[in-house]
Amino acid sequence: MKQGWEIKKLGEVAEYFNGLTYSPKDVSNNGTIVLRSSNIQNDVLDFSDIVRVNVDIKEKLFLKEGDILMCSRNGSQRLVGKTAPILNLSEPMTFGTFMMIIRSEFSPYLLWFFKTDEFKKQISGGENTMINQVTRYMLDEIKIPLPPLPEQKRIVSLLEEAFAAIAKAKANAEQNLKNARELFESYLQGVFQKKGEGMEEKKLGEVLVKTETVDPTKNPDTEFTYLDVSSVNKETKEIENPTVLLGKDAPSRAKKLIRTGDVIFATVRPTHSRVALIPEEFDEQVCSTGYFVLRTKESVNNKLVFYFLLTKGFNEQMEKLQKGASYPAVTDNDVKGILFSFLKSKEAQQTIVRQLDALRAETQKLEAVYQKKIADMEELKKSILQKAFAGELRIEKVETV
């Protein structure tokens, strides 16, 4: 450890208070604001959803500038341990039952420590362990590397500067990712909105042929590959994690035969856009009845239908047609009734498909680049925090492009 640094337990350098207990009858439009877990968003306070109460509140439970608000208990484990600083109070406020306030002269430094993996590891009792609550007794045992106050201030300043630069770089990468996706979606939508000579418009069902159903249980000892609704990645539109089963173990929904080149579309939660082309490796295998299997006539390129199902226009129509609040779905006939505009010439269709394939491949490359940048930013934040509390912090310029 660096010279002048100490290891202190949190209980030695801070005091903490559990939140206010109140009942629904105490809620009032003109009472005192009570901050809850929902008021911590992205490490800052969010006042878009507030509750006020009319009750007697002890002086120590009123928030002070510089306090750290922590979610100490929540039904969602990912929120437990989340923190936000109390800054620029516009009126007296308190905090709720499942919250805790940490008060210390070292609050700015502690606030950053609470973001570290080391804190999460200590509070959970080990790596990758989720916790349901944080107690005063748990906080008492948290060990903190504590430098002299001037060094704390230097570290806080460097972290603020570094994280601001990372946030800007991450925002730029996210915007570039959004732009890449929107460019592809715009081009895709335009392909199916064209009218005029050489174009034809039919209901989707009119360009499809009938597909087959099967019953794997009739061959109880024969293996088959089964695609359930979750087998299609809604982001990449690729098949992943298929299940190999014996016929006797087939679920009741394993009924639809699929062939190479078929397009499958999940009619359950249709706005998730689980759409995929069946590659050769899954020829004559089985998918769930939660999919509509689309097999095109000779006059229509099957990939053209695949791309049509990815359009914003198709997705919007599915949203309007879906029924059921907890388990929204559309029927195969709903999909068949959607109007589909396409070029009559098979050669022209093939040209459009090649263009869409190339643009989609380029878009996926860009997405991979920007997603890696975003992931790298998160890793950089962890690395910087680790170095900061080991006394090794040296800030290098963060690329914001």
Q: What is the 3-state secondary structure (H, E, C) of 146-174?
A: ECCHHHHHHHHHHHHHHHHHHHHHHHHHH
Q: Are residues 105 and 22 in the same domain?
A: yes
CATH number at residue 120: 3.90.220.20
Residue 106 belongs to a domain: yes
Q: Are residues 211 and 294 in the same domain?
A: yes
Environment class of 24 (CB within 10 Å of its CB; exposed 0-12, middle 13-18, buried 19+): exposed
pTM: 0.72
Residue 135's pLDDT band, with cuts at 50, 70 and 90, is confident
CA gap 155, 164 in Å, rounded:
14
Whole-number pLDDT of residue 218: 95
Whole-number pLDDT of residue 399: 58
Q: Among 105, 126, 146, identify where a domain stops.
A: 146
Residue 209 belongs to a domain: yes
Residue position matching structure tokens 């800052």: 44
Cα dihedral 235, 238, 241, 246 sign? positive
Q: Are residues 285 and 224 in the same domain?
A: yes
Residue 122 belongs to a domain: yes
* Structural contact between residues 192 and 308, judged by C-beta atoms closer than 8 angstroms: yes
Q: Are residues 26 and 141 in the same domain?
A: yes
In 241-397, DSSP assigns E strands to 243-246, 254-258, 263-266, 275-277, 285-288, 291-294, 339-343
Residue 190 belongs to a domain: no
Residue 212 belongs to a domain: yes
Average pLDDT over residues 243-252: 95
Whole-number pLDDT of residue 401: 53
Whole-number pLDDT of residue 126: 47
Residue 136's pLDDT band, with cuts at 50, 70 and 90, is confident
Domain span at residue 268? 199-344
- Minimum mean pLDDT range among 138-142, 195-199, 262-266, 306-310: 195-199
Give the chain's domain count. Answer: 2
CA gap 235, 264 in Å, rounded:
15
Residue 92 belongs to a domain: yes
Nearest CA to 46 out of 57, 58, 38, 56 is that of 38
User: For the chain, first and last CA: distance in Å?
Assistant: 36
Average pLDDT over residues 349-353: 94
Nearest CA to 124 out of 137, 136, 112, 133 is that of 133
Give the pLDDT confidence of 64-74 residue by residue, as tens digits.
999 999 998 87
